[in-house]
Structure 1
Amino acid sequence: MTPTSALQDAFGDSNHLIRGKRIRFYRTRAGLTLEQLGAKVGVGPSQLSLIENGRREPKLSLLEAIARELDTTLAALLSDEAPDRRSAFEIELERAQQGVHYTALGLPEIRNVRGLTDETLESLVGLHRELLRRARAASATPEEARRANTSIRHFMREKNNYLPEIETLATDLMASVGHVSGAVTHRTVAVLAESLGFTLIFVDDLPSNTRSITDLENGRIYLPPASIPGGHGLRALAFQAMAHRVLGHNPPASYAEFLEQRLQINYFASACLMPEAATATFLQNAKADRNLAIEDLRDAFGVTHEAAAHRFTNLATKHLDLQVHFYRADAHGALLRGYENNDLPYPVDASGSLEGQVVCRYWAGRTGFKRRNRTSEFYQYTDTPEGTYWETSQIGDLGNSGAFSITCGVKFDDAKWFRGRDTHVRTVSTCPDENCCRKPSDALAERWEGSAWPSARMHAHILSPLPTGSFPGVDDTEMYEFLSAHAPEL
């Protein structure tokens, strides 16, 4: 998984196309034919044609010679923007015709793009945009979302939940503003934003389905005036917004790519809030003292318990040589997200997805709800068909959104490194055997079977369509109206 978008993967290096268009633009402006320019720079007209069509990458020395003969600069030829509106449409059409959605139709490719009128070219580009939009909408089904989530989870398991490229980016950026350890201040976040060309602006009228909005034209990042419930706070939201630029993201071409980008920006934010070197040292010292605790990591870096737990899983295998698991579940046991590289037997559906599945009622992520004192971590050993696991769980509450649990754990032999290893709480789970906790006891079934008829609560997400659009879940009209209202006066 890399920050490169799926569109770039499909269309190849778009810079070649843009560079070729810019050479053609300046050649035409200079009134030179391919033959005339080729004679001046010492290459054949066929070679120049390949370069202008984006099918060959010129050497730097040739680009310098072309710039001199066309009375322009090397920087002008290397610019990543199309030289004019017509060229922008030509590039977009050429890219679209190479995309998987068009090639799958088996239709011929229009090769003489320059022979099209402006109106025809714009019409064709509009049709391709609509084709892509409909393809996105069709793919945003619950099944597609589950497959995408499962694919990402398997990928992160192979990586031990550790992404070194993003770690390096975050480390370098935070060092550039003087931060290496401890809680990140809001001032530090603002300074980093300024170094990337952004100003942070706090507003109270963000569209309901957005956490932040970035105005790329005016270099502004709009954030809510207060932390969203259960989130990392305004610092994380700002880091996530900046991450799209730092990681080179383009608008997602699919729901799967949207989920991939979301994972990357969340990872980047965590790596900024808890820099790798300082966090690893903190955890290694705690392990040496046999006193690892998620709550200590949380307090040392001033983040939420969930952020600390997830960050722990990023670094545990790389720096502590520990295989771990992490999950978030609601009060009914439904999994919202999860990770493991220690073989914890998560419940999964036929596609391998765990989101929405119900964890065993004997796991710590559910037994922890029975405690009256929920301010501290809860520790438990659980015997499962895959062995015995030690878990630490913290219960949180989002008010109207309900309670939830954040759970981290390791296999029995690794519990010796953690605070809470001396707990006497121990349960037995035989799930996925339905006799474990999914069936009522014989006595209860005999007493009530056939005599009960509940009116089941319909969860809102069951009937909610998956978000579609350029940025899934966001109403483009609402977003653009917001930007128009807040844009500076020209």
Structure 2
Amino acid sequence: MTDLATLGQRIRHFRAGAGLTLDQLGAAVGIAGSQLSLMENGRREPRLSLLQSIAEALGVKVADLLSTEPPTARAALEIELDRLQGGAIYSALGLPSIRASRSMPDDTLSALVGLHRELARRAREAIATPEEARRANTELRHHMRDRNNYIPELEKLAEDTLRSVGHTTGALTHRSVALMARRIGFDLIHVDDLPHSTRSVTDLKNGRIYLPPASIPGGHGLRSMALQAMAHRLLEHHEPESYAEFLRQRLEINYFAAACLMPLQQSVDFLQAAKGDRNLAIEDFRDAFGVTHEAAALRFTNLATSHLDMTVHFMRVGDDGALYKGYENDGMRLPTDVTGSTEGQVVCRHWSARVAFTRTNRTTEFYQYTDTPTGTFWSSTQTGTGTQEDFSITFGVPFNDAKWFRGRDTRNREVSTCPDENCCRRPSGEIADRWAHKAWASARLHAHILSPLPSGTFPGVDDTELYDFLEAHSGDTD
């Protein structure tokens, strides 16, 4: 059924068109006019039998009453005003609600709705802060852990999309990605002047997806960028109204892109065969589909519990020990702050995610067993170099599942008692006594952890820069 506010407006519209009062229509269908008034104001839901009687009395079809379209432009404004005043943003102000009476002029109603829209817009800008981002990210992480990091509906969408361009096996080609874009009305265009705050830009008006130059190092990532941009359209995303919605949308487009680059059946077949040989390895999975090590490790977390019957953990850690991405459903206790957020928290020095940085040869995966307060875990870590710092990608499982992986025979083993600070966060007493109050260090501050994201329609994206870019390219015909 349509929402009650729209239903009420449509009943009122057709009642007025029939020249009936509330009491007259109420008498015709066997209810009091006051009860009918509650329905027209969206405060009460009519039974289907009553709705059929109302439709007959008004000389219309039930489908006419159940349409999702407001009957008039004014009705649409009245519905929007009611919804905005009932939202959390306006409610938090403690101000009374204003009902759009018949005597309220249209321009007054439009002004009220306009003010509420602006209030909501400013609130969306204000929430793009580190505190809100951390809270929303924590909620999303817990939600995905409850789902074992697996989203069946996105798996099916990816399979259907791949099938539409005839892709069946092997690594997904740039040509296939371009065909997928054309099927939904978009051309892929590579430019060298993308706004610095964007990875891609979609021009909905002219059907274009702008991407970085195809010749950039690591160009394989362009497939993922294009797929992510397409996912917004395939999933019918709207402009995010909260930071939590922005994060959910980002998770969904990343998941879709990964499911296209590493299709479900192909991936499961590959991983199950490797498990049968007791030779699972992230690097083999990575190379089989031509993706990054991080993408392969994350995709493994999507499939491990639902299709390989194992729980897992994943981490991306900076060379300073800060955790930037983390997932676990195997009991590995990730570091958190008092709010439960993991972002920016420092991981134990004894975990493979940090031990791997101490190796002289970083070209191969590093394997390690780690004894922790919640159990013993086996981990595989690969280090890499980003634009600003080195990082490590860690994938791991509980001790009992190490038997399925290459590297299970490693002799590397560490003991971690974190979050006990005596584990690795406090210097020994002798060293502390020797150096206390005798040294001074200048800290390297991660400014992005403290600074709010640029305010705009999309968190982190400068609207002015974005629109200037679109304006500059709107006349291109190539």
TM tier relative to shorter chain: 0.7 to 0.9
**Aligned counterpart, 1:355:** 343
Structure 2 residue 410 is matched with structure 1 residue 423: yes
Q: Report if the CA contact (8 A) 2:220-2:290 is conserved.
A: no
Structure 2 residue 429 is matched with structure 1 residue 442: yes
Q: Report if the CA contact (8 A) 2:416-2:423 is conserved.
A: yes
Runs of 4 or more consecutive aligned structure 1 residues displaced over 6 Å after TM superposition:
13-25, 46-59, 80-85, 227-232
Q: Report if the CA contact (8 A) 2:310-2:401 is conserved.
A: yes
Structure 2 residue 451 is matched with structure 1 residue 480: no
Matched length: 466
For each residue in 1:63-82, what CA deviation from the matched residue of structure 2 results, as whole angstroms up to 9, or x when unmatched?
xx99xx99xxx99x96x887
Structure 1: any 5+ residue segments left out of the alignment?
1-12
Structure 2 residue 250 is matched with structure 1 residue 262: yes
**Aligned counterpart, 2:446:** 459
SS state of the match for residue 388, structure 1?
A: strand
**Aligned counterpart, 1:101:** 89
- 1:364-443 mapped onto 2 (5 Å cutoff): 364-399=352-387, 401-443=388-430
- 1:341-352 mapped onto 2 (5 Å cutoff): 341-352=329-340
Rounded to whole Å, the distance in 2 between the matches of 1:230 and 1:338 is 24
Rounded to whole Å, the distance in 1 between the matches of 2:204 and 2:182 is 13
**Aligned counterpart, 1:5:** none
For each residue in 1:388-425, what CA deviation from the matched residue of structure 2 results, as whole angstroms up to 9, or x when unmatched?
111001111014x1110000001111111001111111
SS state of the match for residue 338, structure 1?
A: strand
Letter in 2 for 1:436: C
- Summarize the Cα distance change of 1:357–1:271 in structure 2 as closer, same or farther, 3 Å threshold: same
Q: Report if the CA contact (8 A) 1:212-1:241 is conserved.
A: yes
For each residue in 1:231-285, what CA deviation from the matched residue of structure 2 results, as whole angstroms up to 9, or x when unmatched?
9611111111121222232222211221121111111111111111111111101
**Aligned counterpart, 1:339:** 327
Rounded to whole Å, the distance in 2 between the matches of 1:57 and 1:165 is 33
SS state of the match for residue 231, structure 2?
A: helix
2:227 to 239, 245, 266: 239
Letter in 1 for 2:252: Q
- 1:30-429 mapped onto 2 (5 Å cutoff): 33=18, 89-112=77-100, 115-226=103-214, 233-399=221-387, 401-429=388-416
Q: Report if the CA contact (8 A) 1:396-1:404 is conserved.
A: yes
Deviation at 1:381, TM superposition (A): 1.1
SS state of the match for residue 197, structure 2?
A: coil
SS state of the match for residue 191, structure 1?
A: helix
- Summarize the Cα distance change of 1:57–1:372 in structure 2 as closer, same or farther, 3 Å threshold: farther
SS state of the match for residue 359, structure 1?
A: coil
Deviation at 1:202, TM superposition (A): 1.9
Letter in 1 for 2:429: D
Letter in 2 for 1:346: L
Deviation at 1:53, TM superposition (A): 7.4
- Summarize the Cα distance change of 1:102–1:341 in structure 2 as closer, same or farther, 3 Å threshold: same
Q: Report if the CA contact (8 A) 1:90-1:113 is conserved.
A: no
SS state of the match for residue 130, structure 1?
A: helix
Rounded to whole Å, the distance in 2 between the matches of 1:21 and 1:217 is 32
| Two-structure CA RMSD over aligned residues (Å) | 3.7
Rounded to whole Å, the distance in 1 between the matches of 2:472 and 2:77 is 29
Q: Report if the CA contact (8 A) 1:394-1:406 is conserved.
A: yes
Deviation at 1:94, TM superposition (A): 3.6
Letter in 1 for 2:81: L
Letter in 1 for 2:364: S
Rounded to whole Å, the distance in 1 between the matches of 2:188 and 2:72 is 32
**Aligned counterpart, 1:8:** none
SS state of the match for residue 372, structure 1?
A: coil
SS state of the match for residue 373, structure 1?
A: coil
Rounded to whole Å, the distance in 1 between the matches of 2:101 and 2:210 is 40
Letter in 2 for 1:235: R
Deviation at 1:432, TM superposition (A): 1.4
Q: Report if the CA contact (8 A) 2:130-2:451 is conserved.
A: no
Rounded to whole Å, the distance in 2 between the matches of 1:33 and 1:84 is 16
Letter in 2 for 1:412: F
TM-score (norm 1): 0.83
Rounded to whole Å, the distance in 1 between the matches of 2:222 and 2:7 is 39
Rounded to whole Å, the distance in 1 between the matches of 2:179 and 2:46 is 38
For each residue in 1:349-400, what CA deviation from the matched residue of structure 2 results, as whole angstroms up to 9, or x when unmatched?
111111111111111111111222222211111111222111001111014x
SS state of the match for residue 306, structure 2?
A: helix
TM-score (norm 2): 0.85
Rounded to whole Å, the distance in 2 between the matches of 1:230 and 1:53 is 57
SS state of the match for residue 381, structure 1?
A: strand
- Summarize the Cα distance change of 1:173–1:214 in structure 2 as closer, same or farther, 3 Å threshold: same
Q: Report if the CA contact (8 A) 1:338-1:354 is conserved.
A: yes
Rounded to whole Å, the distance in 2 between the matches of 1:160 and 1:182 is 26
Rounded to whole Å, the distance in 1 between the matches of 2:101 and 2:220 is 49
Rounded to whole Å, the distance in 2 between the matches of 1:253 and 1:484 is 25
SS state of the match for residue 126, structure 1?
A: helix
